[in-house]
Chain A
Amino acid sequence: MRTIIKVLFIISLIGCSQSSVSEIVMFSDSHGKYYRSDTVGGIIKNEYGLNENLSLILLATSNSDSEEFKSQLKIIKEIDAEEFQYLYVIANSDTLNKSGYYTSKIDAKNILGNTKFKIIIYDQHGDLVQSSSAVLEKKTILYYLTKSSSRHRKLHGLAQGCDHIRRYINFNILIPWVNEEIGVVLTRVRRLYALFFCTIFFFNINCFCKSNRAI
């Protein structure tokens, strides 16, 4: 019983990771070429002879005059795209913007869902790193852009799934008040918190299994 629950837990972790990978967006560039968000990094890498795949920042809006969209775009343009090797895609459900990378209006509507604004960050391998319907600060975007590049040096599969959960725990459960400005020291503290949390979590599963077996 205990083994079965552990296997189910591991499968659910992998499932969490895979579900984010499968969120593929189609878009085009000003050449008229079509790309999938999960393959664009590799295609452009080959086309331009780059050393690394590109990250992707997708900005979705229903109104490009909205303050949220304009302020997010301004923040993104302050981040050197050449240095951090990313491209950004505009998804506007109201009008098409053919001056750069863009999606169709229908795709933009699907991306937005019930929200009016969304920013999505994919890493170099097309995996979802962050999705937010609130404007992200420059430091937060930089964190996700640099975090995603180091993430793939780690093990794939389970490790990737754990990373999603660890990040979720770090940011949303354990210490949601943490500000990026505090830096590396706090990142280490958050890791310790996450490790502690996971240990307690597995301990609870073990206890649960043992109690089931006794019954």
Chain B
Amino acid sequence: MPDLLFDRNKKTLSWPLKKISWGALSGPFGAGALPPGIYDIARREITEYTNKVDLPYRDKSGMGFFVPIYPKFTTSRGKLGGRLGIHPDGNIPGTLGCIGITDANARSFHNAIKQTAPSIKLTLQVK
């Protein structure tokens, strides 16, 4: 069973085991929302929660992060035009296909990922 669940219609990203949920969306720009399926979350590749990331990746507090994700199925998404990932939804509402956290303070998501041991394989289901 995947650790995280992103519901595109309800616009929520949840971690059922930890009973945490965030507002989130994907698309509509470019090729639109993430296609449904299972993704690996690259726990070892996450950035810090920092103001050094670009504006589209920052929340309203001015801080942000990028958590890369990799589809476990065949798709052209993420191979051309930037990596796929989870980040705060900065500047214009919506993303180019990543998952954008719409909560004003996305720190709790970063903390939840960071508190997970790097050796643990996290997965995400998009539906």
Spell out A's residues near B (CB within 8 Å).
29-31, 44, 47-51, 54, 73-74, 77-78, 80-83, 85-88, 97-101
Interface residues of B in 89-105 (CB under 8 A from A): 91-97
User: When the two chains form the complex, which single residue of B35, B91, B92 contacts A30, counting CB atoms closer than 8 Å?
Assistant: B35
- Interchain residue pairs with CB less than 8 A apart (16): A30-B32, A30-B35, A48-B93, A51-B92, A54-B29, A77-B80, A81-B30, A82-B29, A82-B56, A82-B92, A82-B94, A82-B96, A86-B29, A86-B30, A97-B76, A99-B77
Q: Which residues of A contact B28 (CB under 8 A)?
A: 44, 47-48, 54, 87
Chain B residues positioned under 8 Å from A51 (CB to CB): 92
A31, A50, A88, A97: the one contacting B30 at CB < 8 Å is: A88
Residue of B25, B29, B77, B80 most packed against chain A (CB within 10 A): B29
- Give the chain B neighbours of A77 by CB distance below 8 A: 30, 80-81
Residues of chain B lying within 8 A (CB to CB) of residue A83: 92
Tell me which residues across on chain B come within 8 A of A81, comparing CB atoms.
Answer: 29-30, 96
Residues on B facing A (Cβ under 8 Å): 8-9, 25, 27-36, 56, 75-77, 80-81, 91-97
Q: A30-B35, A48-B25, A82-B29 are in contact. List 13 more A-B contacts (CB 8 A).
A: A29-B32, A29-B33, A30-B32, A30-B34, A49-B93, A50-B93, A77-B81, A78-B81, A81-B96, A82-B56, A87-B29, A88-B30, A98-B35
In angstroms, how far is the closest chain B Cβ from the Cβ of A134?
A: 21
Instruction: Contact check, B33 vs A82: say whether CB atoms are below 8 A apart.
Output: no
Given the interface contacts A50-B93, A87-B31, does A31 sit within 8 Å of B9 by beta carbon?
yes
Contact between chains at A99 and B94 (CB < 8 Å): no
Q: Which residues of B contact A29 (CB under 8 A)?
A: 27, 32-33
Bound CA–CA A48/B94 (angstroms) = 7
Scoring B32, B56, B91 by chain A CB atoms within 10 A of each residue's CB, the highest score goes to: B32
Q: Please indicate the chain A residues that have their CB under 8 angstroms from the CB of B32 in the complex.
A: 29-30, 87, 100-101
Q: Give Cα distance in the complex from A50 to B94, angstroms.
A: 8
